[in-house]
Structure 1
Amino acid sequence: MIAVVTDTCASVPQHLVESLQIEVVPYYIHRDGETLRDMIDISPEEFYRWLPTIQKLPTTANPGPGDYLQAFERVAQRANGIVSIHMTSKGSGAYQAGCVAREMAEASMPGVRIEVIDTLQVSGVHALATIEAAYVALQGGSLEEVAETARYVARSGLMLQAFDTLRYLYLGGRIGKAKHLVGTLLNIKPIVSMADGIVVPMGQARSIEQAYHKMVEMMADRGAGKGPIKVAITHNAAPDRAAALLELVTRTFDCRETFITQTSPALGVHTGPGMIGVSYFPLRAGD
């Protein structure tokens, strides 16, 4: 049997974590002198209520090699192969930590094969890659089949996010004060995606509702209407927005499976409350 390991920044819904037997390793959040385990010591609900009150962003840290090694050792009790799936290595050290943990595991678990995957993605596509890989693993897929599934979703998937405010990009040093001021005055909602493992701007909207439609247009431009797709809707403390975006997406495209998930604090700290996103990948023939 093959086991699938990921981390909290994938933001896989808990019911799928449990039903698909996914092992999840927490990121860390450093806040006011204390270290919190993402999604364990602090929930998204608590975090997004607290975030608007701050003037300085908390910092985050990826799991270390020891964290991943412990996860590998746990799942090795029920598996002879492991696929560990990580967000882009260009935005986090998690992939490198997983690679180091694999080397450490070669000594302690010589009979267990481990594949470590850099998705070059974040958020919804990271979640979709993890979930699809776990489906294949539960169906008895080989290590190669499980890993290839994750890689297919990662390279074919599209992630789009619209931010409700520029405040957290400013606090995180990603934009300057002037751009923050102008963007706030104009009520700009930036839309971003991923390209070669890096967050890239895709456009902007003057309202969240306009952002929904722009993201759906971007999906269509990418070819989402050419065949069946699977979809993840992500949000930060914005369930009504998530439901509205999902309704628009399912009305527009042939969606075979969908889910809504709230992003983990370690990932959502950079986008803030109100963020709304959509990710998808196209199904292959026979899927």
Structure 2
Amino acid sequence: MVIIFADTTSSIPVDEAKILGIEYLPQFIIFGEETFRDDTELDSATFIKKLIASSTLPKTSAPPPQMYQPLFEKHLKAGNDIIVLTPSANVSGTYRSAEMASQEFIGEKITIIDTLNIGASFASLVKTAVQMANNGESSDTIVATVKNMVERERNIFVVDTLEYLYKGGRIGGAKMLFGSLLQVKPLLALKRGQVEPVESQRTKKKAVSRMIELIIEECPPKNSSLLSIQHGAALADAQKLAQQLKEALNLDEVPIYNLPPAFLVHSGPGVLGTSYFID
């Protein structure tokens, strides 16, 4: 049997992760002297309220190696192979934690994959791996498929404000001032854990319209594209976007995910985006 490990940066709800049979680890959110697990102690709505009220950005912390080790031992003793999917090593220490934990089990069948992303695309990779494992595919086949998908992933999103990107050091002060003065709504992409500009529009409505155009141009009009929507405190906008893209691309389903705190600390509330896989 192949056991899939993931964590809350995948945006998969905890209850759904249990149903899928994933070994699901938390991230930790640090506000000043307080530390919260993001799977049981801090839901998305509460996190956003605390984020808005805080004068400084909270910090995020990956699950330590000690959380992985007993789980690795349990499944290896049962004769299982293990595949650990992690968020981009550029935004989280999760990959390093899993790697350190695996050093206790040299020679065992543990594969750790950096998904190079976070949020909805990570969720799609996890669910694909779980489905393949449930179908009896080998760990080598699952690993090859997931790594191929990682290279084909695309995403695009728009933020309500540049404030959080500036606070997190993702953009410079001059760009922050210029963007704020013009009320620019940038279209951005997360590539290998790095935020990169796509283009800018003067209003969020125009930015979302342009985002739809770009997705229709690039996203294959078929269910295998695994198109999904991701957002932070923008459910109504996410539902509208999902319906528009579902109709435009003739898709059966477009899942909607709440973005994890590890993303929202840099984007702020109101962020709206998509994830999909090209051919």
Same fold (TM over 0.5): yes
- What SS is found at the alignment partner of 1:170? helix
Paired position in structure 2 for 1:149: 145
Structural RMSD (CA): 2.2
Quote how far apart the aligned CAs of 1:15 are.
4.7
Paired position in structure 1 for 2:126: 130
User: Which one of the candidate residues 228, 245, 269 is aligned to 1:273?
Assistant: 269
The one-letter amino acid of 2:214's match is M
On the 8 A contact 1:232/1:279 being kept in 2, the answer is yes
Equivalences, count: 279
* Mapping of residues 71-150 of structure 1, within 5 Å: 71-76=71-76, 80-106=80-106, 113-150=109-146
Deviations 1:131-165 (A, max 9, x none): 11111111111111222232222111111121111
Structure 1 window deviating more from structure 2 (56-65 vs 187-196): it is 187-196
User: TM-score, normalized by length of structure 1?
Assistant: 0.88
Structure 1 window deviating more from structure 2 (260-269 vs 192-201): it is 192-201
Q: State the distance in 2 between where 1:45 and 1:277 align.
A: 18
Quote how far apart the aligned CAs of 1:227 are.
7.5
- Percentage of pairs with the same residue: 31
On the 8 A contact 2:246/2:252 being kept in 1, the answer is no
User: 5+ residue gaps in structure 2?
Assistant: none
Paired position in structure 1 for 2:21: 21
Paired position in structure 2 for 1:38: 38
Q: State the distance in 1 between where 2:277 and 2:110 align.
A: 25
* Mapping of residues 160-179 of structure 1, within 5 Å: 160-179=156-175
- What SS is found at the alignment partner of 2:254? strand
Which aligned segments of 4 or more residues in structure 1 are displaced greater than 6 angstroms? none
Paired position in structure 1 for 2:205: 209
Deviations 1:86-144 (A, max 9, x none): 112233222122222112133xxx7x511100112222211111111111111111111
Q: State the distance in 1 between where 2:224 and 2:263 align.
A: 28
On the 8 A contact 2:28/2:62 being kept in 1, the answer is yes
User: Which one of the candidate residues 230, 235, 238 is aligned to 2:231?
Assistant: 235
Q: State the distance in 2 between where 1:168 and 1:155 align.
A: 28
Quote how far apart the aligned CAs of 1:14 are.
3.7
Deviations 1:222-264 (A, max 9, x none): 3434785212211111110110111121122143442111112
The one-letter amino acid of 2:83's match is V
Structure 1 window deviating more from structure 2 (185-194 vs 154-163): it is 185-194
- What SS is found at the alignment partner of 1:269? helix
On the 8 A contact 1:84/1:117 being kept in 2, the answer is yes
- What SS is found at the alignment partner of 1:35? strand
On the 8 A contact 1:170/1:180 being kept in 2, the answer is yes
Q: Does 1:181 align with 2:177?
A: yes
User: 5+ residue gaps in structure 1?
Assistant: none
Q: State the distance in 2 between where 1:159 and 1:75 align.
A: 34
The one-letter amino acid of 2:139's match is L
Deviations 1:37-96 (A, max 9, x none): 123221111011221122110111222222222343455576601110011223322212
Quote how far apart the aligned CAs of 1:208 are.
2.6
On the 8 A contact 2:88/2:116 being kept in 1, the answer is yes
